[in-house]
Amino acid sequence: MVEPTVLIPGIIEPPPGLGGGVAGTVAGTVAGTVAGTAAAGINTVEEVLLCKEKLNIVVVASECAPFAKTGGLGDVAAALPKALRRRGHRVMVVMPRYKDYQGVFDTSVRVHYNIMGANTEVGYFHMYKNDVDYVFVDHVAYHAVAGDIYAGDREEANFRNAMLCQAAIEAVWHVKCGPEGDTPYGDSDLVFLANDWHTALLPVMLQAFYRDHGKFEFARSVFVIHNMAFQGRGPLVEFDKLGLPADYKDHFFLDDPFGGECMNTMQAGLRLATKVIAVSSGYAWEITTDAGGWGLAPLLREFGEKLTGVVNGIDLDEWSPEKDEHLDKDGYSRYEPTAEGLMGGKKLCKAALQRQFGLPERDDVPVLGFIGRLDHQKGVDLITEIAPWLMGQDVQLVMLGSGREDLEELLKNLENNNRERCRCWVGFRRVLIHSRRSPYDRVGVVNADP
């Protein structure tokens, strides 16, 4: 049991021996590391370049597969840490403990934080797997949304998000990590990787609660934008509950055509982060346009080199067709991603897909696939708009996703009107995503998280 001495809201002295260190150009280094990792994917250790500067990297996210996942964020939070570790960094993932997870143990560490004016006890759970430390922030507020991790009203969401950010920052002091569970990270050569608006308060808290008071002087923060549309907008009066200094209010204030005067949590995180990364170079450009920035484009255009685009990589240990265990049934087949493999196993998978969905089994017809959340950002409406022309071509179309009810209805109607060429599955099942990606001749995979 840790008994901290509270200095200011949520702040405690670091345990002896865990301070100091020089991170130097740490944020730029981790941005380069993320870029190289994404480009390389996750292959064998021999295929991945070693890092030039070893860092302590803390990836903070509201979800991480396989523990909790609603979209692409969960996949990235699962795959990227393993790739960073293989480059030589020490990597920790911090996420909420929504429920009991197999292999995760209670560290018995309990710390009290001032979360939105409430003295809140937080517990820490830990798992060491694939050479990565997984730290779970435990509180009844997370248990309450285990079935829908983004449920609840704004005040409840703000409380969960603020608690995650606060607990993640100090996890490097309190939680003993590593395979033996005996060594805290400390705050030397430290980079926090915050993901989307749920963790946008992390760069803000790091500066306001710590760096402004001489703590974490050598730590840096990177803010990763997966989905620009969700920014944590709300009434400006919500700021007063965060316990931040009054002069930080300007970082949150936004007046724009999308929402008028409001508090914008993502804006504050973007402003105070050391580095900002979008999930592709194209998306980095898109969010600087008025159409794609959702009110924050003017701010992002000011960033210059602070904003970088890095294409999301994939975990080849999970998604490569030669390793994917989901291809071991229903007529599907594993295959090597080579010319020979495409001519053999991929053909079997294509036939299995056609057979499973009741489409004519034809090897000579291209199968087009769409996998993603049904939202206006994903371009589903563009597919339905060209449906009369597309369904007049000699193609087959298979679509998988869920989201807006009107788009779900459009998909159902598209199938009903084109039974010989189109199948639409409204819903989300991981096994379907695996088996459906493998057979397509052309596939669009789009992800965005709530």
SS3 letters for 219-273?
A: EEEEEEECCCCCCCEECHHHHHHHCCCHHHHHHHEEEECCCEEEEEHHHHHHHHC
The C-alpha atoms of residue 3 and residue 263 are separated, in whole angstroms, by: 34
- pLDDT tens string 97-116: 999 999 999 999 999 999 99
Return the H-helix or E-strand segment holding 69: none
Q: How long a stretch of residues is the chain? A: 450
Neighbours of 74 (CB within 10 A): 23
Would you place residue 383 in the very low, low, confident or very high pLDDT band (cuts 50, 70, 90)?
confident
Q: Is the pLDDT confidence value at 139 over 60?
A: yes
Would you place residue 339 in the very low, low, confident or very high pLDDT band (cuts 50, 70, 90)?
confident
Would you place residue 268 in the very low, low, confident or very high pLDDT band (cuts 50, 70, 90)?
very high
**pLDDT for the residue numbered 450:** 35
What average pLDDT does range 16-38 have in this prediction? 49
Amino acid identity for residue 170 in this structure: E
The C-alpha atoms of residue 428 and residue 450 are separated, in whole angstroms, by: 15
What average pLDDT does range 129-137 have in this prediction? 97
**pLDDT for the residue numbered 401:** 85
Do 181 and 106 form a contact (C-beta atoms < 8 A)? no
Angle in degrees, CA 175, 179, 185, rounded to 5:
35
- Percentage of the chain modeled with pLDDT above 90: 65
Beta-carbon contacts of 325 under 8 Å, excluding residues fewer than 6 positions away, are: none
- Reported in sequence order, the residue ranges of 61-117 that DSSP labels E, i.e. its strands, are 90-96, 105-115
The C-alpha atoms of residue 308 and residue 287 are separated, in whole angstroms, by: 11
Q: In the numeric block, which tokens belong to residue 158?
A: 């703000």
**pLDDT for the residue numbered 47:** 42
State whether the Cα torsion 33-34-39-42 is positive or negative: positive
Per residue, the 3-state secondary structure of 248-259, as one string, reads: HHHHHEEEECCC
- Percentage of the chain modeled with pLDDT above 70: 84
Q: Is the pLDDT confidence value at 258 over 50?
A: yes
What average pLDDT does range 363-371 have in this prediction? 91
What average pLDDT does range 156-176 have in this prediction? 98
Q: Is the pLDDT confidence value at 1 over 70?
A: no
Q: In the numeric block, which tokens belong to residue 310?
A: 């890095």
Do 398 and 368 form a contact (C-beta atoms < 8 A)? yes
**pLDDT for the residue numbered 90:** 96
Q: Which residue carries 């210059």 as its tokens?
A: 304
Q: In the numeric block, which tokens belong to residue 259?
A: 């929402």
The values of phi and psi at residue 309, to 5°, are -110, 130
- pLDDT tens string 180-202: 999 999 999 999 999 999 999 99
What average pLDDT does range 197-226 have in this prediction? 97
Specify the range with the lowest mean pLDDT, choosing from 16-30, 168-182, 408-422. 16-30
What average pLDDT does range 110-128 have in this prediction? 98
The C-alpha atoms of residue 397 and residue 391 are separated, in whole angstroms, by: 8
> Nearest CA to 213 among 3, 2, 6, 4?
6
Do 168 and 64 form a contact (C-beta atoms < 8 A)? no
Q: In the numeric block, which tokens belong to residue 157?
A: 């969401």
Beta-carbon contacts of 293 under 8 Å, excluding residues fewer than 6 positions away, are: 228, 287, 300
DSSP-assigned beta bridge partners for residue 378: none
DSSP-assigned beta bridge partners for residue 370: 399, 444
- In terms of DSSP bridges, do strands 219-225 and 275-278 run parallel, antiparallel, or are they unpaired? parallel
Do 146 and 95 form a contact (C-beta atoms < 8 A)? no
What average pLDDT does range 228-257 have in this prediction? 94
Q: Is the pLDDT confidence value at 132 over 80?
A: yes
- Mean pLDDT for the chain? 86
**pLDDT for the residue numbered 441:** 55
Q: Is the pLDDT confidence value at 9 over 60?
A: no
* Residue burial 335-353, b: 16+ Cβ < 10 Å; e: rest: beeeeebeeebbebbbbbb
Q: Which residue carries 């890095």 as its tokens?
A: 310
Q: Is the pLDDT confidence value at 70 over 50?
A: yes
Beta-carbon contacts of 228 under 8 Å, excluding residues fewer than 6 positions away, are: 283, 287, 292, 293, 294, 296
Q: Is the pLDDT confidence value at 405 over 80?
A: yes
Q: Is the pLDDT confidence value at 32 over 80?
A: no
> Nearest CA to 373 among 292, 418, 433?
433
338 or 269, higher pLDDT: 269
The C-alpha atoms of residue 255 and residue 386 are separated, in whole angstroms, by: 37
370 or 177, higher pLDDT: 177
**pLDDT for the residue numbered 30:** 57
Q: Is the pLDDT confidence value at 175 over 50?
A: yes
The C-alpha atoms of residue 120 and residue 196 are separated, in whole angstroms, by: 24
Q: Is the pLDDT confidence value at 251 over 70?
A: yes
pTM: 0.82
Would you place residue 439 in the very low, low, confident or very high pLDDT band (cuts 50, 70, 90)?
low
**pLDDT for the residue numbered 404:** 86
Do 435 and 348 form a contact (C-beta atoms < 8 A)? no
Integer-rounded Cα Rg, in Å, for the chain is 23
Would you place residue 342 in the very low, low, confident or very high pLDDT band (cuts 50, 70, 90)?
confident
193 or 11, higher pLDDT: 193
DSSP-assigned letter for residue 64: B
The C-alpha atoms of residue 400 and residue 424 are separated, in whole angstroms, by: 6
Could you give the dihedral angle defined by the CA atoms of residues 152, 158, 161 and 162, in that order, rounded to the nearest 10 degrees?
Answer: -150
